[in-house]
A and B are shown apart, each in its own frame.
Chain A
Amino acid sequence: MSRISGYLTRICRAFRRHSHDRDMAAEMRDHIEHETARRIAMGEDPATARRRAAAEFGSIDARTEEVRDARLGVWLEQIWQDFVFASRKLRKSPGFTTVAVLTLAIGIGANAAIFSVVNAMLLRSLPVPHPEQLRILQWTGQEVSIPSFTGSSSMVNGQRQADAFPHPTFEDFRAGAESLGEVFGCFPLGNQTTMAAGTVGFSDVMMVSDNYFTGMQQSAQIGRVFEPTDDLPNSEPVAIITHGLWQTRFDSDYGILGQSISIDRNKFVIVGVLPPEHASPFPGNRFDVYVPLAAKSVLRPSRTMRSYDNWWVRLMVRLRTGHTDEQLGEVLQPLLASAFEQSRSRADSSDILIKDGRSGIVPAREFLTSRLLALQGVVAVILLIACANLAGLLLARATVRRHEFAICAAIGAQRSRLIRRLMVESLLLAVAGGLCGLALDELIKNGLMANFHGAQLGPELDLGIDRNVLWFAGGITIATAVLCGLLPAFRASRTDLVTDLKLGNSSNFIRHRWGSALVAIQIALSVLLVTGAGLFMRSFGNLNAIDPGFDATNTLVFRLNANQEGYTDEQHLDFFDQVRSNLIKLPSVASVSASSVRLLQGSMSSSGFSIPGQELQHGERWQAHTMVVADEYFKTLNIGVQNGRTFGPQDNRETEAVMVINALIAEYCFPNQNPVGQILRMDGRNFRIIGVCSPTLYDAVRQPPPMTLFTSARQQSLRSMDFYVRTSLPATAIVDEVRQTIVNLDPTIPLANISTLEAQFDGSISTERSMMMLFGSLAGLAILLSCIGLYGLMAYSMAQRRAEIGIRMALGALPADISRKVLSDSLRLAAWGLGIGLPLAIGLGFAARAAFFDIAPYDPVTLIGTVLALAFAATVAVWIPARRAARIDVLTALRAE
C-alpha cells in the first residue's frame, strides 16, 4: 500500500512542482522556527534568536533551488545511467540488436517514405508569400451537361465535382469579388513544340491570366510579369520563361528581353524571366513557359475562348485578410448559377466550392488523397507488425533476464526504475531503427516513384526530407518505442523475488500467452496484406486478360504536331497523307493510320448526338465518345467491321459527311434496324452512317468499351494526329526509319510521344500493376516479419522447454511426436491469426472494393491462397525449432536441469 502511495506521491509531485516548492518552503520555515525556539530556550532574547536562526539557515529560496537542482540532477543521472546500461546491454547481444533495428528500420522507413509523398503532394505549402490566403475554386452540380469541358472532374456522392470554369465566368468572378480578393486563372497547355534561339525542343506551357503573378505575389527576376494589357484579344503575344529554360535554351543571355520563343510556330515576345525559386501551381509539375490566357486563340483555336459553353480555366483566389470564405461564396454562387443559365450547359443545381489553396492545385486531389492514405495505412500495418515482432523479441529477452531483474529488485531498485530502464532500451532501439529508416527512406522512395511513374505523381515532385517529415519520423519512432516496449517492460518488471531468485536462470515461467498473442497479431496483420496483394493480383490478371478489341501487337505510336504557319486545313491534310504514303513504302511497314485521340492514354473527347426522327424523352441526352480517324484505321488496328464500309479517299470536303459507329451505338439507337444509310446528327451537322465496327477500348483499360462515333480526318480540320504504324518487326525496331522518313518530309516537325500500342495498354494498367507490386512486396515483407516472430517464439520456447521435452521422451515419446507437437502448436497460432485476419481482410476489401477490378472481396481463390501461403510460411518458420526439439538428447536435457 505505502509503496503504491509513495509512487503516486512522486507522480503527483512531478506534475505539481509549484505545490512541492511550497511544501518545501513551509518545511524550511518550520526548521527556522525550531532553531529559534532552541536558541530562546538556551537564553537568547527572541529577536536575536530569530535573526541568528534565519542567518544560519540562509535564504529559503536558495535552499529550495538547491533541492530542485538535486532533484533534476538525480533524474538526469538516472536517465544517463539507464542510457549507458541499455546501450551496453544492446551491444552485448548484437544479433538481437541487428534484427530489431532492421525490423524497425523497414517499418519506420516505409512510413516516412509514404509520408514524404503525402507531404509533398498534400501538405507542403507553395513557396509564395502568405500561402494561407490562397483558395482554389471548384464547383459541384447535379445532372450536369456541358458542351465542352477540359479539366478534372469526378463523381462524389452522385454529384459532379469539377475544377474548370468558362472564361467569361472567370471575368464575372474577378469583377464581382474585387473587394474580397484577387481571382486569377490558369490553364496547363501541356507539352508543346517550341523554337527558341534557333533550336527546336519541347516545353511545358502554362497559360495564365494577366493577374496570375500578382495573385501569387511572385515577381520576375529579369523584366516584368504580365500586365492587364497583355491578356486582351488583340494584344501582342508575350511570354514569360522560367529560370531553367532561360539557362538551357538561351544560355543565360541577359539580353533576353525582346527575343522571341515560338510555341507551335506562333511567335511570343519574351518580357520576363522568373527567379529560380519560382514554383508551379501544380505540385510535381514544372512549366517552362507562361503565356497569357488570350494566347488560346492562337494555340487552341478550335474552341472559342470567350464563351460560357467552353469550361477550361482553373481558378484560384488570394483572399484579402479580414474576409471569409463565406463572403466569397455569397458573391460567387449567383455568378456560377448564371454561367449555367447563359450557356448550353445545364445543371439541376450547382454550388461553388472554396478549397484551401496553400498547397496548390492537385488534380483529382480526393482520389489521390484516398490512394495515399490507403498506402499510409498499409505501411502502418507493416510498422505494427514490426512492433509486435519486436515486442515479442523483447518479451522473450525479458523472460531470460528475469534473474537479472530479480537481483536489481533485491538490491532495492524500484519497479518504475526497472520499467524506465527497459523503456530506455526500446527507445534506443527505436531511434537506431528510425535513423536507419531515414537512410532506407531514399531507397524506398525511389522504388515507389519508379512504380508510380507519372501515374498520378508529377515527375518533378520534390520528395526531400523537410521539417514535416522529420517530425513525423520522430513521432512514429517514439510511438514505436512505447508500443513495443511497454508490454515487455511491465511484464518483466513484475518480479516475484523469491521464486525468481530461487529458480535461477532456468525459469520455467514462460510468458507464452503474451508471446503467442503477439505472434497471432502479426499473422493476422499479415493476412490483411496478403489478401490485399492477392486481390490486386487477381484484378491485374483480369485487366491484363481484357480484349481491347484491336490488335495491340507490333504497332508503333507517335504524335505529329504539324501546326504549319500559314497552312490551310487542306495543306495539313496533304501533309498527313504524305506521311502515310511515305511510311507505307518502308519494307517492314504493313499498314499506317492515325487518330485524333491516342488510344488508352486517359484522354478522350465526347459529344452529344441525336438521330432525326427519334424523339428523346425530356432530359434524356445521347452522348458518345468521338474519334477522328485517317483512312485504313480499322485495317491497321485489326478492328472488325461488322457491316457496311469504312472511310476512304472518296470521302472528302466536297462529299457528304460520313460516319462509322460501333456496335454498341447500333444496338442502343437502332435496335433491330440496319443503321447503315441512316442519318446521325452531331455538332449541328448531319452524318450518314456508312459502317458498323466492333466495340473497342478507348481511353483506359479499366473502362468497358464505350459507345464510339468515328468521323473521317478528310472531313474535319486537324493539326495534330497520333499515328499507328503496324510492322512485321517488333515495333521499336523501326523508330529510326520512321523518324528519317518524317525528317525527309519536313525537318522541323519532331516525332513526339513515341511509344507502342502494347506499351499504351501496359501504361493504362500501370496503376494496377504498381498496386500489385507494392502490395505484393509489402505482403512478402509482412510474412517475413511474422515468420521471424514465429520462429523466435518457437525457438525460444523450445530452449525453455528442453527439460519438459526430455521428460516426455524419457517417458516414451518419439521424436516424431515431439516435432508434430511443435508444428501443431505453431499451426494453431497461425489458425488464430487467420481467424482474426480473414474477416478483417474481407471487411477492408469491401470498404476498398472500388480499387479492385471485377473481383469480389471474398474471392475464394484469393482467400484459399492466403490460407495456404500463411500455413506454408508458418511451417517453414518452425521447421528448424521442431527438428531441434526432436533431436534433444534425453540425458543431457535432464542433467542440465
Chain B
Amino acid sequence: MAKDKTDLLQGTLDMLILKALQLQPMHGFGISVRIRQISEDVLRVEQGSLYPALYRLEEQGWITSDWGISENNRKAKFYEITKLGRKQLANETANWERLSLAVNQVLGAKLKDLG
C-alpha cells in the first residue's frame, strides 16, 4: 500500500528534522541547510515536504515554534525540539539502528552467499 511507503519516508524525514533541531532552535531554511550539511550533500529535503512535516511534528507536540529574529535581522519562525520530541528522537534512532543493522546483515549475508 502506498501509505506504508509514505509512512516510512515521513518517519525518516521527521527523524532528520528532530535530529537537526537537537542542538539549537532553527528556522525552516536553516533546517534544510543543516540536513544537507550533515549528510554531506547526499540528502536534499524536498521543499514541498519540509513545511507539512514541520506542521505535523508540531501537531504531535514534538516541536514548538515561535517568531524570532534571524541572523540577517529578519523576522523568522524558529522551531525548537520539545522534551517529548527528544524522547521520540531517541526511540526513532534506536529503531532505525535496529532496522539498518538488520538490513545490513541481510545484505551482507546475501553477498557472502553469492560470494
Q: Which residues of A contact B (CB under 8 A)?
A: 2, 6, 10, 23-24, 26-28, 30-31, 33-35, 37-38, 56-58, 62-63, 66-67, 69-71, 74, 412, 414
When the two chains form their complex, are residues B48 and A31 in contact, meaning their CB atoms are under 8 A apart? no
Q: Which residues of A contact B52 (CB under 8 A)?
A: 66-67, 69-71
In the assembled complex, 12 residue pairs joining A and B whose CB atoms fall closer than 8 Å, in A order, are A6-B64, A24-B51, A26-B77, A27-B51, A30-B28, A31-B47, A34-B30, A35-B29, A57-B47, A63-B51, A66-B52, A69-B52
B8-62: which have CB < 8 Å to A?
27-30, 32-33, 47-49, 51-53, 55-56, 59-62
Given A27-B28, A27-B76, A30-B27, check contact A58 B47 (CB 8 Å). Answer: yes
Known: A56-B47, A58-B48, A66-B48. A71 touches B61 (CB 8 A): no
The answer to whether B64 touches A2, judged by C-beta atoms less than 8 angstroms apart, is yes
**Is B51's CB under 8 angstroms from A71's CB?**
no
**Further contacts, 8 of them, CB under 8 A, given A6-B64, A62-B48:** A2-B64, A30-B77, A34-B70, A66-B52, A71-B55, A71-B59, A412-B62, A412-B84
Please give, as numbers and ranges, the residues of chain B lying within 8 Å of A412 by CB-CB distance. 60-62, 84, 87-88
Chain A to chain B: the 4 pairs with minimum beta-carbon distance, closest first: A70-B52, A34-B29, A31-B29, A27-B77
Q: Which of B30, B47, B70 contacts A63 (CB 8 A)?
A: B47
A64 CA / B20 CA spacing, docked (Å): 23
Closest partner residue, chain A, to B44 (CB atom) = A56
Expressed in whole angstroms, the Cα–Cα distance for A57 and B55 within the complex equals 17
> B75 — which chain A residues lie within 8 A by C-beta?
26, 30
Q: Are A30 and B74 in contact (CB under 8 A)?
A: yes
Complex Cα distance, B30 from A34, in Å, reads 9
| CB–CB B48/A63 < 8 A | yes
A213 to B48, CA, bound (A): 68
Query: Given A35, A62, A70, A414, which contacts B55 in the complex, CB threshold below 8 Å?
Result: A70
Taking CB atoms, residues of chain B closer than 8 Å to A37 are 72
| Bound: A26/B33 CA distance, A | 19
Task: Give chain A residues whose Cβ lies under 8 Å from the Cβ of B56.
Answer: 70, 74
- CB closest chain-B residue, reference A3: B61
Given A31-B28, A412-B84, are A66 and B59 neighbors across the interface (CB < 8 Å)? no
- Size class of B's contact patch? 20 to 34
Q: How near does chain B come to A497, taking the closest CB pair, in angstroms?
A: 13
Contact of B51 among A2, A33, A67, A414 (CB under 8 A): A67
Identify the B interface with A (CB < 8 A).
Answer: 27-30, 32-33, 47-49, 51-53, 55-56, 59-62, 64, 70, 72, 74-77, 84, 87-88
Chain A neighbourhood of B76, CB < 8 A:
27, 30
Cα–Cα, bound, A23→B76 (Å): 10
Task: Give Cα A31 to B45, complex, Å.
Answer: 13
Question: Known: A27-B77, A30-B27. Is A38-B33 also a contact (CB below 8 A)?
Answer: yes
Q: Are A30 and B48 in contact (CB under 8 A)?
A: no
Q: Is there an interface contact between B51 and A30, defined as CB atoms closer than 8 Å? A: no
Q: Is B29 in contact with A74, judged by CB distance below 8 angstroms?
A: no
In the bound complex, CA of A35 to CA of B47 (Å): 12
Across the interface, which residues of B come within 8 angstroms of A57, CB to CB?
Answer: 47
List A contacts of B77 (CB < 8 A): 23, 26-27, 30
Residues of B within 8 A of A74 (CB): 55-56, 59
When chains A and B are docked, how far (Å) is the Cα of A349 from the Cα of B75?
77
**Residues on the A chain within 8 Å of B59, using CB:** 10, 71, 74
B28 cross-chain contacts in A, Cβ below 8 A: 27-28, 30-31
A34 to B47, CA, bound (A): 13
**Bound: A134/B97 CA distance, A:** 78
Which chain B residue lies CB-closest to A7?
B61
Question: Could you tell me the distance in whole angstroms from the C-beta of B10 to the nearest C-beta in chain A?
Answer: 10
A57's nearest neighbour on chain B, judged by CB, is B47
Q: B70 to chain A: which residues have CB within 8 Å?
A: 30, 34
Q: Which residues of B contact A63 (CB under 8 A)?
A: 47-48, 51
**How many angstroms between the C-alpha atoms of A30 and B53 in the bound complex?**
18
Interface contact A67-B55, CB-CB below 8 Å: yes
Find out whether the CB atom of A66 lies under 8 angstroms from the CB atom of B51.
yes
Q: Residues of B contacting A58 with CB < 8 Å?
A: 47-48
B residues less than 8 Å from A69 (CB atoms): 52
Residues of B within 8 A of A2 (CB): 64
| Cα of A70 to Cα of B32 in the assembled complex, Å | 19
Chain B's closest residue to A34 (CB) is B29
Residue of A nearest to B80 (CB): A2
A6 to B83, CA, bound (A): 14
Quick one: which of A27, A33, A58, A414 has the most chain B CB within 10 A? A27
Interface residue from A30, A66, A70 paired with B29 (Cβ < 8 Å): A30
Chain A residues contacting B61 (CB-CB under 8 Å) are: 6, 412, 414
A residues in contact with B33, CB < 8 Å: 34, 38
Q: In the assembled complex, which residues on chain A have CB atoms less than 8 Å from the CB atom of B88?
A: 412
Closest Cβ of chain B: how far from A808's Cβ, in Å?
Answer: 43
Which residue on A lies nearest to B77, using beta carbons?
Answer: A27
A71 to B30, CA, bound (A): 22
Q: Which residue of A lies closest to B49 (CB)?
A: A66
Nearest chain A CB to B86 CB, angstrom units: 11
Chain B residue, CB-CB nearest to A20: B55
Complex Cα distance A673/B44, Å? 118
In the complex, chain A residues whose CB is within 8 Å of the CB of B51:
24, 27-28, 63, 66-67
Which B residues lie within 8 Å of A31 (CB)? 27-29, 32, 47
A422 to chain B: closest CB distance in Å?
18
Complex Cα–Cα for A71 and B55 (A): 7
Select the residue from A33, A69, A70, A74 with max chain B CB neighbours within 10 A. Answer: A70
Quote the shortest CB–CB distance from A54 to chain B (angstroms).
11
Contacts of B48 in A (CB 8 A): 58, 62-63, 66
In whole angstroms, how far apart are the Cα atoms of A67 and B59 in the complex? 12
Quick one: closest A residue to B67, CB to CB? A23
Residues of B within 8 A of A24 (CB): 51
* Docked pose: A38 CA to B70 CA in angstroms: 14
Q: In the bound complex, how far is the Cα of B72 from the Cα of A35, in angstroms?
A: 12
Q: How far is the CA of A682 from the CA of B79 in the complex (A)?
A: 98
Give A67 to B50 CA distance when docked, in angstroms.
9
Chain A nearest Cβ from B26, distance in angstroms: 11
| Docked CA distance A6–B75 (Å) | 20
The CB with the most chain A CB atoms within 10 A, among B28, B30, B51, B56, is that of: B51
Please give, as numbers and ranges, the residues of chain B lying within 8 Å of A38 by CB-CB distance: 33
Min CB–CB distance A229 → chain B (angstroms): 78
Partner of B74, one of A6, A33, A67: A33
Residues of A within 8 A of B62 (CB): 412
